[in-house]
Chain A
């Protein structure tokens, strides 16, 4: 069964550093998402991406965040200058022709020290 993959599984970075989280969505999917889950809390929507542009974003997704689909397979989330409160699990998801069926990746745990 096709799956969404994410790398790295765990990233440790220092405050103020830039990080790029990578995702490979399912190949024929059209919509891509990033979510965040702070430890012990609920999963929160960050941004959705369709047709090479952001289709929606939440209040969390401020100027420190950006997303990109640099080639036909990868989908990245960049945090420009990480803060301690960016420490969380970040999930990528994608869906294709079934609009309500999202496939989640295994997540990247980001630790900002």
Chain B
């Protein structure tokens, strides 16, 4: 069975601080996909990034960066110079091929990020 742990329930920072959201996953599959989603107060799920298990390259997109380490089963997300608009719940998810032939993500419980002005 797959599991995603986001140990940080809530993080509160002041604008311009850097913040890292942790994600630890468990799976026995060798092929899997990891995701981060942002859920603003309006409720929709905004896709941020997808990584596959064979690509451990870290990625940077503007103020966002992701650190994927298979050795520790972690896929952490860093926001540099946080802004108030970054305030949201962030979900990490893990997707493996199910017995039914589709990829079904297992979500973590989410980390609520509050950025104060």
Contact = CB atoms under 8 A, between A and B. Distances in A.
B109 A42 contact: yes
Interface string B20-57: 00000000000001000100000111010010100000
A42 B110 contact: yes
Nearest to A49: B102
Interface string B88-103: 0001010101111111
B100 A106 contact: no
A50 B104 contact: no
A91 interface: yes
Given A41-B109, A45-B104, A100 B44 contact: no
B109 A56 contact: no
Given A42-B91, A43-B91, A56-B98, A99 B103 contact: yes
A75 interface: no
Interface string B77-117: 00000000000000101010111111111111110000000
Interface string A71-113: 0000000000000000001010001000111111111010000
B17 to A, nearest CB: 25
Q: Which of B45, B93, B95, B99 has the most chain A CB atoms inside 10 A of its CB?
A: B45
Interface residues of B, number: 25
Chain A: interface secondary structure? Answer: strand
A104 B45 contact: yes
A51 to B, nearest CB: 10
In the A-B complex, the 4 residue pairs with the smallest Cβ-Cβ separation, listed nearest first, are A56-B100, A55-B100, A106-B44, A100-B33
Interface of B: 33, 37, 43-45, 47, 50, 52, 91, 93, 95, 97-110
8 contacts: A41-B109, A42-B91, A42-B107, A50-B100, A103-B47, A106-B43, A107-B43, A109-B43
Interface of A: 31, 33, 41-45, 48, 50, 55-56, 89, 91, 95, 99-107, 109
